[in-house]
Amino acid sequence: MRMIIEHVNILPGVLQNENALLPIINNAKVHIEDGLFTFVGTQDNAPPFTADQVIDGRGQLLMPSLVNAHTHNAMTLFRGVGSDLPLSNWLFETILPLEKKMTAPIARVGIQLALLEHLRFGTTLVNDMYFHIRDEAEIIKNSGMRAMLSDACVDMGDGRAQLANAMAFYQDFYHKDEQIRVSISLHAEYTSTPAFIEIFMDATAGLDNIIHVHVSETSREVRECISRHGKTPVRYFHDLGIFSKRTIAAHCVAVSEEDVTILAADKVTVAHCPVSNLKLGSGIAPVKNMLDRGIEIALGTDGASCNNNLNLWEEIKFMSLLHKGTTGNATAVSPAQSLAAATSVGASALGFYNVGLIKNGYSADLILLDMDKPNIVPSCNIGANLAYSTQGSDVTMTMACGKILYRDGNFMTLDREKILYEAKAASEALLK
């Protein structure tokens, strides 16, 4: 498939570790061939190219599609359930009992519901941790999206069996195609033991697996970890060797100065989930300090059960605003840093190294945004517009691997009406 998007303004993205947007290319054109960009530049400089499809991008901004670095897709079915409870009551008294009823057919519906939302709001790559990931891998493949998937190990009696399953999934899917990456993960400190982590590290020694783990989400988690092990969760994972693997640590809200030093030294990527952390009353991660110390920050929504949506534009805005408020410094986090967190930083943290920028040779994973909206006009400061003014509903087209997956209200690979109908029925079955 050969495609042209023309007469469009392009934001090529934000390079990792560079606190500035790449320059906008006005009246530009991209050529896409076999899923990759083969030309990105001005209309005038474009070489001859014959395409099967030509899209007129007038009035639109073309930019990298978004990356959700921490979520639990199937939990869309728990949206609103146990809302406004603190994390421990919400998780242990409300969600865990319901998860016992989360059969594979029900999870499949929840995952598809999540994908509708991701694509509608311009997200094409997600880092998902949940059960039934073989089903999920098939759904992601068919949807045209991308994901890093893990069935996180929880050592509550059957940790070894879970680890064996995770290893088998890894062997079956490791770099088998361009859409799926595999993580062998741990759920959290409070669902693990040092003895199990030793087994985990032995079993995964030599494997190129990224670890995805919840870390220091609440001060209670940290207090209990200190009373169990005499150290914080960050120190616990460091001492047990977890951070010697590439790690994406979700949350990192209740972290000490020493924790931040460890995270920086171990090059851990933090998946910042500001909305979930606020909604569960968990607090605010010290992201300004982390950025100053060179820690890479990606953005995640967490599950729709504690957010309560998967609209990453809200996380971009919250990341941009929250840390100005906590530090009293209006320059604490720039739009470029929040947009990098939601694009290039997230993509490379998940091992997708040719995703997250609009660039020759990169995969054509992109969105079009309608710039002729009352909430965006005038567009004299594109960074500020994207961080503070843009809504998820301003996305008009979402593409991954060079294929259009969503355009102007239509989903090309998902049956919206069927999924919504089944999701309502599945939710009723779970709550009955």
Residues with Cβ within 8 Å of residue 158, at least 6 apart in sequence:
none
Q: Nearest distance from residue 272's CB to Zn ion, in Å?
A: 12
**Shortest separation between residue 307's beta carbon and Zn ion, angstroms:** 10
Binding-site size for Zn ion (CB under 5 A) equals 1
Which CB, 149 or 332, lies closer to Zn ion? 149
Cα separation, 27 vs 12, in Å, equals 13
To Zn ion, the closest distance from the beta carbon of 185 in angstroms equals: 11
Q: Which is nearer to Zn ion, 302 or 365 (CB)?
A: 302
Handedness of CA 177, 184, 242, 93 (dihedral sign): positive
Work out how close the CB of 249 gets to Zn ion at its nearest, in angstroms, rounded to a whole number.
Answer: 11
- C-beta separation of 214 from 252 below 8 A: no
- Residue number with CB closer to Zn ion (118 or 403): 118
- Nearer to Zn ion by Cβ, of 183 and 385: the residue is 183
**Cβ 317 to Zn ion, closest distance in Å?**
20
Nearer to Zn ion, 302 or 394 (CB): 302
The interface region with Zn ion, picked from 58-66, 97-105, 301-309, 327-335 by CB under 5 A, is: 301-309
User: Binding segment for Zn ion among 37-45, 279-287, 302-310, 369-377 (CB under 5 A)?
Assistant: 302-310
Site string for Zn ion, 132-151 (x = CB under 5 A): --------------------
Tokens 């069935």, located at residue:
151
Asked if the peptide bond before residue 378 counts as cis, ω within 30 degrees of 0, the response is yes
The Cβ-side half-sphere exposure at 249, using a 13 Å CA radius, reads 31
How far, in Å, CA of 123 to CA of 366, rounded? 9
Taking the least distance from each CB to Zn ion, the nearer of 276 and 396 is: 276
**Pick from 23, 54, 58, 53: which is nearest to 41 by CA?**
23
Q: Which residue is nearest to Zn ion (CB)?
A: 302
- Nearest by Cα to 353 from 170, 168, 175, 130: 175
* Residue placing its CB nearer to Zn ion in the complex, 299 or 336: 299
CB of 298 to Zn ion, least distance (A): 13
> What distance in Å separates the CA atoms of residue 295 and residue 143, rounded to the nearest whole number?
32
**Cβ-contact 282, 253 below 8 angstroms:** yes
* Of residues 189 and 302, the one with the C-beta less far from Zn ion: 302
Using CB under 5 A, which of the segments 5-13, 295-303, 354-362, 370-378 binds Zn ion?
295-303
Q: Closest approach of Cβ 22 to Zn ion, in Å?
A: 31
Closest CB to Zn ion among residues 273, 376 = 273
How many Å apart are CA 370 and CA 311, to the nearest integer? 17
Please list every residue from 26 through 55 that binds Zn ion, using CB under 5 A: none
* Sole window of 77-85, 172-180, 185-193, 300-308 interacting with Zn ion (rule: CB under 5 A): 300-308
Bond from prior residue into 385 cis (ω within 30 degrees of 0): no
* Smallest distance from Zn ion to CB 214, Å: 5
Amino acid at 155: D
Judged by CB under 5 A, the stretch of 13-21, 80-88, 141-149, 298-306 that binds Zn ion is 298-306
Bridge pairing between strands 123-129 and 36-42: unpaired
Q: What are phi and psi of 274, to 5 degrees?
A: -60, -40
Distance CA 231, CA 11 (A): 44
Q: Which stretch binds Zn ion (CB under 5 A): 232-240, 294-302, 312-320, 368-376?
A: 294-302
Residue 197 near residue 243 (C-beta atoms within 8 A): no
**Cα dihedral 22, 23, 24, 25 in deg (nearest 10):** -110
Report, in Å, the least distance between residue 71 CB and Zn ion: 7
Name the residues that contact Zn ion, by CB under 5 A: 302
